[in-house]
Structure 1
């Protein structure tokens, strides 16, 4: 729990022995998202469909990146993340899109950063 919420918050949650509703649990980081019961199914369906659009190699590399970097000092974690990002893109058609974007300097375009979610899905449309 301390990894999810931070040491102080974890101690507060455990030692206070209080009940928390879903909204508080979301704010403290003990759950990912608080949803109304009728929102759960559509949310999970949309998330699963979005994830399914990515190549399996990329999904696998992203999982490795998170698991490998979580307990490392920041410098080592950033190296691990860079390695797994390369793995996520280098063995899939997306590397062509990232290479073109890099050559054109698009990583420095603030609009690309503002619209990252849409940009990532456009890459899937181009390469999928």
Structure 2
């Protein structure tokens, strides 16, 4: 299956889902979000697929929500602009975490905001040395979504997660490895080869056992990830009504400094 924004390539027992909108750094438009949901459902129901790779095309894994599209939604009706969290982001994260097959995030480049949430929703993460990471949410007056408030803290610890979310400073692939955001870091030149080797190893493994292990690991979330997703979504809807968020999005698109007023 190939679409304008997401492609699915099945090679043997490995399915590779590629976010493919290079001009937008694979930012998540409504078209891409819907295509990604369909792609995950396709690999779920394909019994020949035993392992899944999620990656991006070009120089980005995923730059998060497409802010131009989001700005238009805010101008139209800020009370519904963040419904995308419940409608799209939460179902995608839930689909990735509940997929009864191992999912490998192959972070080939920029990975920020909801893109980082998607990577953390995968079971394993491998990054190219040139990849860049960031939470990004507070920079535009939002909190976390895509499960990031739970998955990031689980990966790096509460203190580091608070710093990464509240300060919002980008971090390197080497830091991502040191802090536990990714499990493996490889040179750009051998990235594709390393991803294929790890995906093939997963595809040759005990798929049923992997599924049970995934379920057990996710059952250990306190509170459950579904509750975290709901809490995040409600907070994003509240923040969508704030002047801070609406002004920050417009300033970002205009490439102007952001001024927050706490309202």
* TM-score normalised by the chain length of structure 2: 0.25
Which is richer in helix? Answer: 1
User: Is the radius of gyration larger for structure 1 or structure 2?
Assistant: 1
Q: Which has the higher contact order (CA 8 A, sep 6+)?
A: 2
Higher strand share: 2
TM-score (norm 1): 0.48
